Amino acid sequence: MTSALFIIDVQNDFTEGGALGVDGGAAVAAGISRYLDEHPGKYDVVLASRDWHDGTNDNGGHFATDDAPDFVATWPAHCVAGTPGAEYHPDLDTEDVHVHIRKGQGKPAYSIYEGETPEGVPLPEVLAEHGVTDVDVVGIATDYCVRASALDARHDGKRVRVLTDLIAGVAPESSTAALAELESEGIEVTHS
């Protein structure tokens, strides 16, 4: 059994004051850091994803350019590669992160499974390399990228838990619905 922690999109643009700031995002960043400090060596591999969008195009229609964003499929520009908004939140200590994953380079991407390392290695290859069987998921946002990442891990045959005290969602209703969906898929929704 090999365990992994997925830290999903704990970036400046997804925390308070960012382009798509989520209430509680900064607390999630600090909480994940505290959790890792309190549980050294708990995970065989810690992976952190970041949206890493192109700044010169609409990223496959992901950025609203002509019309107002609908906040379902189109969004304001966010997490543009090389900008402060794309960086990890300063309260997230990345010292314990073994693998960094970038997703959404020129296209919409919600799940960590759609990303790759800076060297171009796709996430499934990284997981296979480490023999990962069990995954805990934390980060932002419950109802979008956390949901998509947890579902993809489950569909990839992993035993999956979502740690509810270390996530933050865009909206209460859609976050509650996402957690119910995850449970219906056999994902454990629990406190850290």
Tell me: the pLDDT tens digits for 181-192?
A: 999 999 999 999
Cis (ω within 30 of 0) for the bond into 141?
Answer: yes
Instruction: Supply the pTM of this predicted model.
Output: 0.96
* Radius of gyration of the CA atoms of the chain, in A: 15
Q: Where are the alpha helices (DSSP H) in the chain?
A: 25-38, 123-130, 147-155, 172-184
H-run or E-run covering 183 = helix 172-184
- The tens-digit pLDDT sequence of the chain (192 residues) is 899 999 999 999 999 999 999 999 999 999 999 999 999 999 999 999 999 999 888 888 899 888 888 888 888 899 999 999 999 999 999 999 999 999 998 888 999 999 999 999 999 999 999 999 999 999 999 999 999 999 999 999 999 999 999 999 999 999 999 999 999 999 999 999
Q: Return the CATH number of 3-54+80-190, one of 3.40.50.850, 3.30.70.1140, 1.10.357.10, 3.40.50.300.
A: 3.40.50.850
Name the residue ranges covered by the structural domains of the chain: 3-54+80-190
d(CA 3, CA 40): 13
Which residues are catalytic, by number? 9, 103, 145
Q: What is the distance between the terminal CA atoms of the chain, rounded to a whole angstrom?
A: 19
